[in-house]
Structure 1
Amino acid sequence: MTNSKIKCIKLQKTESGASYGQFLITLTKSGQGITIGNSLRRILLNDLGGLAISSVRISNVKHEFSIIPGVREDVLNVLLNLKGIIFKNKKNIKKVQFGRLKKKGPSIVTASSFKLPDHIEIINLKHYIMTISESNLVEIEIKIEYGTGYKLALDTFSKQNSEFLQIDSIFMPVKKVNFKVENIYNNKFNIKERLFLEIWTNGSITPNFALLSAAKILINLFFNIFILNESFILNEKKELFEINQNYFHIPIEHLELSKETYNKLKTFKINTIYDILKFPYQNLIKFNIFDIITIKEIKTTLKKKFNIIL
């Protein structure tokens, strides 16, 4: 097993709310740095999700080429400015949400003017939206969605509601990723590698959380491809027929495991004793899916309650 170590070298936050983090991953084998660096970079840039405005309703506006009475900017510029608002999802709620703005001029409107659900926070509160130069009342409603990557506005108006103008949505919380690999030579002429990883986020998540999320996505990806495929089990087949088949469909709740172990099993869709037995537990450790303490608890409980030996 690779004895890798990771530590955070630097963390900083800008006035706009954006975050930067630098991490060092020490690897025991030469050649692993590029593999890990490339994999993490692609996941960080493509697979992490976030919130963004997908469509906008502006009172008395019929199309994107309209002029909002009393507002210095035209509709296109207002939509472009709205696109730059950065949202933080504090409770990981992924259903569609709405925010509203009601402002009377003369006034400068920023992102902080919007009223949002309690679990959504605006990172760049000072982000400029528009200037209302006269004593006109402007009402705006925004539709906020969760997604990954970049979503183009295929139609000018939303198909669900013709009053809403669609805009391009940028869901990506990670803006930029760089990595560099260096060799380490020791007295025994062994070559190790260390991977320097730099992550820039828009502030909706921290670089630490982004890196952890990317690592979990990679683990789940390989787990679902190889471990859950029964025809690709790497170790010898288990002779399940020797065990009383009445035990097979017993839910794992009957094992009365610790909350942490129970949640881990549920995460990987292990719901019954049979689901546990069909995995060679050595592979679960080898692929860093469960730690030794978790495996030991499962083995001990199976032996004690059902006399099943892994």
Structure 2
Amino acid sequence: MKTIKTTPYIPTDINIEEIDKNRIKVSAYPFESGYAITLAHPIRRLLLSSSVGYAPIGLKIEGVAHEFDSVRGISEDVSPFIVNLKNIRLINKISQDEAQVIVNYSFKGPMNLSGSDLVNDVLDVVNKDAYLATINEDAVLNFSIIVQKGIGYVPSEDIRGMIPEDYIPLDAYFTPVKKAVYEIENVLVEDNPTYEKIVFDIETDGQIDPYSAFKEAISIMHSQMSIFGADVTSVTSPIKGSFDEVSELKDLMVKIETLNLSARCFNCLDRTGIRYIGELVLMSENDIKNIKNMGKKSYDEIAEKLEELGYPIGLELPNELVLSLNKRMIKMKV
């Protein structure tokens, strides 16, 4: 028998499936038709943009003046050493409330320096096997790093004024969430097949467990929405722009370095002048495949990375977002 509702259906079931140590699937249901996408999209955005992590933001190497310098007795120049360092995922062992720590290191060769060598009383390293540099016999490498707590991505240009002048500023990719995607399925409730189920697939880099990241995103969402429970009669200035558009632009104006592409794939894009994720998102499948020296393996790698970010190749973006993104790209490249 049909009835007329006076309130929307409240979901009653939530399941958490552990795929591996740093990956889970979270499903919740049943939602009224249209409610699932309303909740899933902002939660995904918050997972990717507002999860807290640690990253190196400054590097000082003894005897080095700038990032294009070299170090005596070290196989790598400073630039590839920086790239390797930015791939290290760090955890502050002293206090999760401490926003910044400075750590000093000294290593004597011969040795292959890896992430495990950075572990001490202050810092732990998630990817301990990650390679940093090769120190030759009778060579010494002395360096200091500034490790900062933060969210999202901050380019080195913005960090330059936040650290001492004798440090090299580093692009900082704080977010510990590697993947946050969702699917919406239909479920049957009382002979009605239009109810919906959200299935989140969340993976982190090990700085934080995925369920804690999920709960943190929910908490941030609650705190952001709580403003509308306050007295808003004093708000007189108009709110310009779309909340979703601003969030999307912030995600897409991130440099391609943050995708952690293979050297061959990265160099292929770099030589073409592609610097930002948004540029790839705006390109069609044929556009990407026709990039000079773009092989199948590199294309598949890019497709996988964009899929993980929720922007599969060929995704149709809103016209307003495309226009705004194109304007930002032109401005960034001037």
TM-score (ref. length: structure 1): 0.67
Equivalent residues of 1:89, 1:204 under 8 A apart: no
- Kept in 2: contact 1:148–1:171 (CA 8 A): yes
> Are 1:162 and 2:165 an aligned pair?
yes
1:229 corresponds to 2:237: no
Displacement of 1:230 in angstroms is 6.5
**Which structure features the higher share of helix residues?**
2
Does 2:145 match 1:103? Answer: no
Residues 95-143 of structure 1: per-residue CA shift (max 9 Å, x gap) = 210122211011111122225454x421111111100122111111100
Residue 82 of structure 1 corresponds to 85
Structure 1 gaps, min length 5: 14-18, 233-310
Name 1:135's counterpart in structure 2.
138
Q: Write the letter of the residue equivalent to 1:152.
A: P
The aligned residue for residue 3 of structure 2 is none
Number of matched residues?
A: 225
Matched with 2:23 is 20
| 2:308 alignment counterpart | none
* Alignment-derived partner of residue 67 in structure 2: 64
Counterpart of 2:231, as a letter, is: N
Change in CA separation of 1:185 and 1:150 when aligned onto 2, cut-off 3 Å: same
Q: Give unpaired runs (5+ residues) of structure 2.
A: 1-8, 235-334
1:73 correspondence with 2:81: no
Residue of structure 2 aligned with 1:41, choices 41, 44, 56: 44
Query: Partner letter of residue 133 of structure 1?
Result: N
**2:74 counterpart SS class:** coil
List aligned pairs for 1:76-225, cutoff 5 A: 76-89=79-92, 91-114=95-118, 116-118=120-122, 120-154=123-157, 160-189=163-192, 191-223=194-226, 225=227
Task: Give the greater-gyration-radius structure (CA).
Answer: 1
Deviation of the 1:27 alpha carbon: 2.4
Are 1:157 and 1:163, in contact at CA under 8 Å, matched by a contact in 2? Answer: no
Contact 2:186-2:193 within 8 A present in 1 as well: no
The alpha-carbon distance between structure 1 residues 101 and 94, as it changes in their structure 2 partners (threshold 3 A), is same
Deviation at 1:192, TM superposition (A): 2.0
**Residue in 1 aligned with 2:261?**
none
Matches within 5 A, 1:273-292: none
Residues 72 and 92 of structure 1, relative CA distance in 2, 3 Å threshold: same
Once the two structures are superposed, residues 157-189 of structure 1 have per-residue CA deviations (whole angstroms, 9 ceiling, x without a partner) of 666423211111110111221111111124433
Whether the 8 Å contact between 2:30 and 2:187 is mirrored in structure 1 is: no
- What is the TM-score of this pair, normalised by structure 2? 0.63
Deviation for aligned residue 1:208: 0.4
Identity percentage of aligned residues: 27
User: Helix, strand or coil: the match of 1:42?
Assistant: helix
Q: Which residue of 1 aligns with 2:255?
A: none
In structure 2, the CA distance between the partners of 1:184 and 1:132, relative to structure 1 (3 Å rule), is same
Partner in structure 1 of residue 266 of structure 2 = none
Distance 1:194 1:200 in 2: 20
- Per the alignment, residue 287 of structure 2 pairs with none
Contact 2:119 2:125 in 1 (8 A): no
Q: CA deviation at 1:94?
A: 3.5
